[in-house]
Amino acid sequence: MFRLPTHLESLIPPPSEQVPQPRPWRGIFVIPGAHQGTPAQELYVTAAETEGDSKAEDWPSRFHVHVMEQRGSLQQIYDWAKRNSPPVCIFMPDRLPQQTNSQTNHAQFEAFAQYLLQNQFIAVASWGGTTPRGAGIILYPTTTARAFLVGAIFLETRFPDFVTPLSPGPSRPMASARQLAPLGHNPDETAPPNIASSLRYTQSGARTHG
């Protein structure tokens, strides 16, 4: 058995003082069907590299996501996030036990993110009556990474004024995985937090359910 040198043992806090590392949140985004009567789409996602107090342990396991079909809203959230620095995290497609399912989930997540980017839309996910009292999470794409969505987290406050109230009805059809356009770069975009670390996370462990 390997033992640390005696002079290093004092640097390790006793078990009672060690702070457990929180597990990354893993759950499902439920996206409305493209047309009335078509089934909703479920994306298996995980959140990584949170900046600020997100209280991810209080999040529901499923979010019903609604697209805000207001052109220009993407630039508005870029500008708002720069001014206000809300708690943010990175959402990415989760890894599933079956490779085929995992690849499909990844492609559908990319298609959703690209749909938002191409149309300059954002999406919102409310807390759904769980512990947080705020409005929920604003989801928006980044031009630098296709398989990520940034989440601006509203635990105690309402969404900014440019986010209109949700209206019932399906979202418009999303781009398919084959319609993804080359990524560009928006100098006004707020950089997502710690993308390099998030990439490392995607290579560790798969979701235990399919």
pTM (two decimals): 0.71
Of residues 64, 67, 74, 62, the one with CA closest to residue 140: 74
Secondary structure (3-state) at 149? strand
Residue 209 inside a domain? The answer is no
Secondary structure (3-state) at 132? coil
Residue 1 inside a domain? The answer is no
Angle at 141 between CA 85 and CA 75, to 5 degrees: 60
Q: Is residue 186 over pLDDT 50?
A: no
Token readout for 122 is 């954002």
Angle at 64 between CA 207 and CA 79, to 5 degrees: 100
Q: Is residue 47 over pLDDT 50?
A: yes
Residue 3 inside a domain? The answer is no
* Residue-range definition of the domain harbouring residue 63: 22-202
Residue 17 inside a domain? The answer is no
Give pLDDT tens digits for 4-42.
455 444 555 566 655 555 678 999 999 987 666 778 889
Residue 161 inside a domain? The answer is yes
Residue 132 inside a domain? The answer is yes
Query: Which region among 50-54, 89-93, 168-172, 177-181 has the lowest average model confidence (pLDDT)?
Result: 177-181
Give pLDDT tens digits for 101-127.
999 999 999 999 999 999 999 999 988
For tokens 């296709």, the residue is 146
Q: Is residue 155 over pLDDT 80?
A: yes
Looking up residue 35, the CATH number of its domain turns out to be 2.40.290
| Side chain identity at residue 77, one-letter code | I
Per-residue pLDDT, 77: 95
CA dihedral 16, 18, 19, 20 (to 10 degrees): -90
What's the number of domains the chain is made of? Answer: 1
Of residues 52, 60, 180, the one with CA closest to residue 113: 180
